[in-house]
Structure 1
Amino acid sequence: MSAQNKEDQPGDLLAEAVRLREEERLEEAREHLLALAARFPDNAEVAYCTAGVHDVLGLESEAVPFYERCLSGTGLSDEDRRGALLGLGSTYRVLGQYTRAVDTLRLGVLQYPDDGGLQTFLAMALFNTGDHHEAMQILLRLLATTSQDTYVQQYRRSIEQYSKDLNETM
């Protein structure tokens, strides 16, 4: 790779920002990532990392445009896309934008139906919109299928049945 091409990629610069975040030097990581995001505005990975550091610092409203940017572009790994959908949905929820949270998290669950984290955050957002029934359905189904608790597993069939309709009596 030529020196010019190397300068067009965030590579080592992004690794430095990640290192700063891992060392909990969050404000330094944020400043570093903001500079990278300005320099590489179309890089989804940079936008995702920038969103994440804002979230960790409690700067949710500043995280949103970076989440939106990374999800609208290309280049995120599958794992980072999952994280970005969960992060954006959770951030919308924290900001009181419950409908946007539900829409984002539903998209995440649709794309990654095996992701219990996305399902859990969707259930929380549904609770906030007043859809308690669907929230309980999701959580009961998740509990029945993922819990290793002996007693939960003993009643798994019943829990799964009730997850379909809590008003039903067996």
Structure 2
Amino acid sequence: MRERLTEAIKLREEGRAKQDPAILEEARTLLLDLVNVYPDDAEINFQIAVVNDNSGLEKEAIPFYVKSIEQGLSGSDLERALLGLGSTNRYLGYYHQAVETLRRGVREFPYNRALQVHLAIALYNTQGYKEALEILLTNLIETTSDEKLLYFKRGIVYYSQHLDEIKK
């Protein structure tokens, strides 16, 4: 089973890299065969979610993400599953589910900037503009090497947390 799973993952990665639907479909077929035999395997369910996402089958990806998380997915796979589920929910317009999932991701993986940025985007979709901008400004100033931005770092950090304040 592990050899077939490894083969399917390699195909999925190749198909994504090449943006080749035929290779992705081959990986998807292998993974669906595996999940029929091993329905309670979190990693297989996770890989099906990813290949569905990579294939533009976002709605089909969601139940597999959910199942893999419920089955105890952990580590970097859980990190990726929370990002995948959150961003897919957001893409499909399920904004509140996206925020909930991405908040969990940020809590469990606080240094993952991709989770933070996707959370900011989902917050925007739920009219959480202030929090979204705070997250984005913080990520920008913590990752930039732009000298002009860094010159204003102290002010940007302050304003990112005090967006509504005005001097009277």
TM-score by length of 2: 0.91
Q: CA deviation at 1:169?
A: 3.9
CA distance in 2, matches of 1:161, 1:11: 51
Gaps of 5+ in 2: 16-22
| CA shift digits 1:22-77 (9 cap, x unpaired) | 33110111111111112111111111111000001110110001100111112x34
Other-structure match for 1:4: none
CA distance in 2, matches of 1:80, 1:32: 19
Other-structure match for 2:18: none
Is 2:11 aligned against 1:17? no
Q: Which of 89, 103, 106 pairs up with 1:106?
A: 103
Q: Which of 78, 81, 106 pairs up with 2:78?
A: 81
CA distance in 2, matches of 1:165, 1:57: 42
One-letter identity of the residue aligned with 1:95 = L
CA distance in 2, matches of 1:23, 1:146: 30
CA distance in 1, matches of 2:64, 2:154: 42
CA distance in 2, matches of 1:113, 1:130: 23
Gaps of 5+ in 1: 1-9
CA distance in 2, matches of 1:121, 1:39: 34
Q: CA deviation at 1:78?
A: 1.0
Q: Count residues with an aligned counterpart.
A: 160
Deviates more, 1:144-153 or 1:52-61: 144-153
One-letter identity of the residue aligned with 1:140 = L
Q: CA deviation at 1:148?
A: 2.0
CA distance in 2, matches of 1:113, 1:22: 26
Give me the identity figure in percent: 47
CA distance in 2, matches of 1:150, 1:65: 45
Other-structure match for 1:129: 126
One-letter identity of the residue aligned with 2:2 = G
CA distance in 2, matches of 1:151, 1:70: 44
CA distance in 1, matches of 2:150, 2:71: 42
Q: CA deviation at 1:107?
A: 0.5
Is 2:163 aligned against 1:166? yes
CA distance in 2, matches of 1:99, 1:22: 30
TM-score by length of 1: 0.90
CA distance in 2, matches of 1:71, 1:148: 36
Q: CA deviation at 1:91?
A: 0.7
